[in-house]
Amino acid sequence: MDKNAPALSLPAEPREFGFLVGGQWIAAGDREVFERSSPAHDVPVSKVVKCTPADLDMAVAAAREAFEDGRWSRIPAVERANVLLRVAQIIRRRADEIAYWETLENGKPIAQARSEVDGTAGMFEYAAGAARALHGDAFNNLGDGMFGLVTREPIGVVGLITPWNFPFLILCERVPYILAAGCTIVAKPSEVTSATTLLLGEVLQEAGVPDGVFNVVTGSGSTIGQAMTEHLDIDMVSFTGSTAVGRSCVQAAAGNFKKLGLELGGKNPQIVFADADLEDAADGVAFGIGFNTGQCCVSGSRLIVERSVAQEFEQLVASKFEKIKVGDPLDPATQVGAITTPAQNKTIMDYITKGREQGARVVCGGEQLDFGRGQYIAPTVFGDVTGDMAIARDEIFGPVLSVMPFDTEEEAIAIANDTVYGLAASVWTKNIDKALNVTRRVRAGRFWVNTTLSGGPELPIGGFKQSGWGREAGVYGVEEYTQIKSVHIEIGKRDPWVS
Ligand code: NDP
């Protein structure tokens, strides 16, 4: 995207969206409507329907019918793959529009939104291949009279609850894989960022995904999300969000023992050894917490740095923050945009206050930025952080980095593991032994060595410990939405039970 292009303009009036059930777009009618304002500009940009539990029932029934009659689940994988490939083409064609709505509702920089949307096209292409590659197993070693098969079947109707931090990216880290497996979907985006999930509905329809295979209900998490996790006719829920709500999903799922995929919070370590390329590492660490204003489950929010370079390194990170462009996300040159919700803005500022009160030292940032409208927070680095402080332990979900020095490799590993979370971690060193040892010993589902926040369709996503259950993306992400059946086949005549 051309960084010198003029900033995009705001819509003249909020765009009204319906919701999608069984291939039909349904307008609000007499239902309540939620109006979303751009968090960067404070003007209304979209209106979505506050669906009722009855609407959810209707969507689940449509997804159930579409699953059971086999219009998607039982067609040859090559046909599903061809549709997924068409989805990728349409996403590329509509990328500007999707990125625009992502930025309007989320507040993330338009250049970043554009690159995320581009990346999702590749996820559909990868999943198309994975659909065709999905296979089971055969046992030809059970003796002359027996042959064994292990087959994978789609799990059924999947409820998909996605958060507001990466509304389109997180959606597309799941939808192509779920569709590749042959399942049908009822999606519930976060109410504040529903637009791009609804746009994906249009894209999937145009690509030829049959009616009822992908349905979208909009509304709040406490009503529609909760009803979805409790729903007795949903076979699996994939939930991405806070650990607290993840825990309530576990309880709600008990009604029919639905399978759960949970991608939850993180307090992810960035371990920097003195022998690292410090310039490169500082850039990576700044990116790891500044990207998406730190509103990423995998943000590197704890800097665990070797004491001999700690002071120099925190200054290097602060100097990177001084150079980045924070501001209007509709400006293609912006690198850090707005905080997505007022509630999140308050959460972050409260943690900054707590950090100060508990004795941490502000190296840079620590304040709200005033651009005349919208809510912005300066990327913040705290030094002198100890392991008992709230800013060392809690997921802040904002651009706040806590620096904790270490003296030995063992100590670095111990600090990194001193958390209930286990989502992601990075290590920066030019010593291969240290890199491998740390990668093996720190408990996290995703690891980066001399880089951070990289990703792609091939490598799986998910957490250890209280960061969740299951894996998304890669072949693992397709298998997650299947269940395994074993088949024993008698060859010839059985040994009789009654002689
Ligand atoms: P939530 O966990 O409340 O929201 C995530 C998703 O769950 C949204 O779609 C939300 O819908 C939905 N939801 C809310 N309540 C329920 C429920 N009872 N049952 C089912 N679904 C529900 O996160 P918040 O938006 O409140 O953010 C709070 C904190 O959560 C953040 O500060 C951050 O620490 C963490 N978080 C982590 C994310 C991650 O990627 N791991 C993503 C988002 C937040 P709706 O928004 O419409 O209410």
Residue nearest to ligand 1 atom 46, measured at CA: 190
Q: How confident is the model at residue 499 (pLDDT cuts 50, 70, 90)?
A: confident
Q: Which residue, 326, 327, 302, 474, is CA-closest to 395?
A: 302
Query: CA-to-CA distance for 329 and 479, rounded, in angstroms?
Result: 37
Residue 5 has a pLDDT of 83
Query: CA-to-CA distance for 87 and 131, rounded, in angstroms?
Result: 14
Residue 54 has a pLDDT of 98
User: What is the third-level CATH fold of 269-449?
Assistant: Aldehyde Dehydrogenase; Chain A, domain 2 (3.40.309)
Domain map (residue ranges) of the chain = 15-264+467-485, 269-449
CB 125 within 8 A of CB 455: no
Query: Cα 347 to the chain's mean position, in Å?
Result: 20
Q: Which residue has the tokens 């625009």?
A: 100
User: What is the third-level CATH fold of 15-264+467-485?
Assistant: Aldehyde Dehydrogenase; Chain A, domain 1 (3.40.605)
CB 171 within 8 A of CB 200: yes
DSSP string spanning 463-485? -EETTEES-BSHHHHHHTTEEEE
Enter the DSSP assignment of 145: T
Fold match between 15-264+467-485 and 269-449? no
CB 286 within 8 A of CB 299: no
Tokens of 465: 């410990």
Pocket test for ligand 1, best of 242, 295, 299 (most atoms within 8 A of CB): 242
Query: Cα 161 to the chain's mean position, in Å?
Result: 10
Pocket test for ligand 1, best of 19, 160, 245 (most atoms within 8 A of CB): 245
498: pLDDT strictly greater than 90: yes
Tell me the mean pLDDT in the region 18-41.
Answer: 98
- pTM for the model: 0.97
Residue nearest to ligand 1 atom 43, measured at CA: 241
Residue 4 has a pLDDT of 78
Measured in degrees and rounded to the nearest 5, phi and psi for residue 356 equal -60, -50
Tokens of 169: 């990216």
CB 98 within 8 A of CB 117: yes
1: pLDDT strictly greater than 80: no
pLDDT in tens, 354-402: 999 999 999 999 999 999 999 999 999 999 999 999 999 999 999 999 9
